[in-house]
Amino acid sequence: MKRGALFAAVLGGVFSAAGAAFAMVGAPTPRGYALQEPATAVMRDIVDFHTLLLWIIVAISVFVLALLLWVIVRYNRRANPTPKKFTHNMLVEVIWTIVPVLILVGIAWKSFPLIYLQERIPEAELTLKVTGNSWRWDFEYPDLGVMMTANLLDEATADAEGRPYLLATDAPLLVPVDTTVRVLVTSNDVIHSFAVPAFGIKEDAIQGRVNETWFNVEREGVFYGQCSELCGVNHAYMPVEIHAVTRAEFDAWVVAQGGSIASAETEAPPAPAAAEPATPAATPTR
């Protein structure tokens, strides 16, 4: 595990150096093949689990390859002209049954807590409703009175502003850092999928249903995602752009959007109460 983490760190270092322009943001990097740098605890656990699986796969592949080479070299017709005729070996058969079972139990041991972490929505300080449309995203902070629509930023503007075309939007969504945000995901038409790799979230947006996920962003920055369900001709043109900012910047943005932070901050109890109706609606859909 330690060595795996080191390997991931070295890879991350090499490839973040290659994509220096995006070093501080959650975005794909040129020629990068490692996962994006995590911005949430969930994504960090996903990366660790991914690294663990990678090493298990490497060990199995190397072992099987070694067995094959051993058989080829030691038991070919020239090296072993008169082969033995037995077909069963109790000990070997027991080992090749038990060892894979133990490997699978080990993987489950690590993966179940991760699934629990992802699927159990913690006490949220903020609720974000995400609605997929063909082909754009609508965002709403129901408790703050903020509603907005984010469209793909056109190529000319993206180039002029030095922002990544096909990832940047005309209206970036702001989220506060160090805040647990519950995300309600639904759709107005076909099935979309709301995905932000650096947050470790990918949730199907289904018409008539409300799916739930959550994130708590640990660092400020710009994070990109994309619709991750093949939804139609403009599937590739409905990106997600999220700016994680300080609470003060977020509050100022909410006011600028015509929302009100008073309901969420000065009257703390009514805010969760206002969010309450969303939960029963969401629960039966799971």
| Interface residues toward Cu ion, by CB under 5 A | 192, 227, 231
Q: Which residue stretches of 80-209 are H helix?
A: 90-119, 155-161
With tokens 């793909």, the residue in question is 152
CB of 128 to Cu ion, least distance (A): 18
Phi, psi of 74 (to 5 degrees): -85, -30
Complex with Cu ion: residue 38 or 225, whichever CB lies closer:
225
CB of 255 to Cu ion, least distance (A): 31
CB of 227 to Cu ion, least distance (A): 3
| Residues written for the chain | 286
The single-letter DSSP state of residue 26 is: B
With tokens 């403009």, the residue in question is 234
Helix (H) / strand (E) containing 225: strand 221-227
Q: How far apart are CA 257 and CA 4, in angstroms?
A: 45
Pairing of strands 221-227, 192-196: antiparallel
Complex with Cu ion: residue 167 or 227, whichever CB lies closer:
227
Q: How far apart are CA 264 and CA 286, in angstroms?
A: 27
CB of 196 to Cu ion, least distance (A): 14
Complex with Cu ion: residue 165 or 237, whichever CB lies closer:
237
Direct distance between the N- and C-terminal alpha carbons of the chain, in angstroms, rounded to an integer = 33
Closest CA to 110 of 4, 195, 203: 4
CB of 165 to Cu ion, least distance (A): 18
Complex with Cu ion: residue 129 or 192, whichever CB lies closer:
192
Closest CA to 148 of 126, 128, 162, 125: 128
Complex with Cu ion: residue 182 or 192, whichever CB lies closer:
192
Complex with Cu ion: residue 22 or 194, whichever CB lies closer:
194
Q: How far apart are CA 62 and CA 100, in angstroms?
A: 15
191 half-sphere exposure, CB direction, 13 A CA radius: 9
Complex with Cu ion: residue 29 or 131, whichever CB lies closer:
131
Complex with Cu ion: residue 153 or 254, whichever CB lies closer:
153
CB of 230 to Cu ion, least distance (A): 8
Cα dihedral: 230, 235, 236, 242 (round 10): -100
CB of 58 to Cu ion, least distance (A): 35
Pairing of strands 136-141, 239-245: unpaired
CB of 130 to Cu ion, least distance (A): 12
**Cβ(199)–Cβ(39) under 8 Å?**
yes
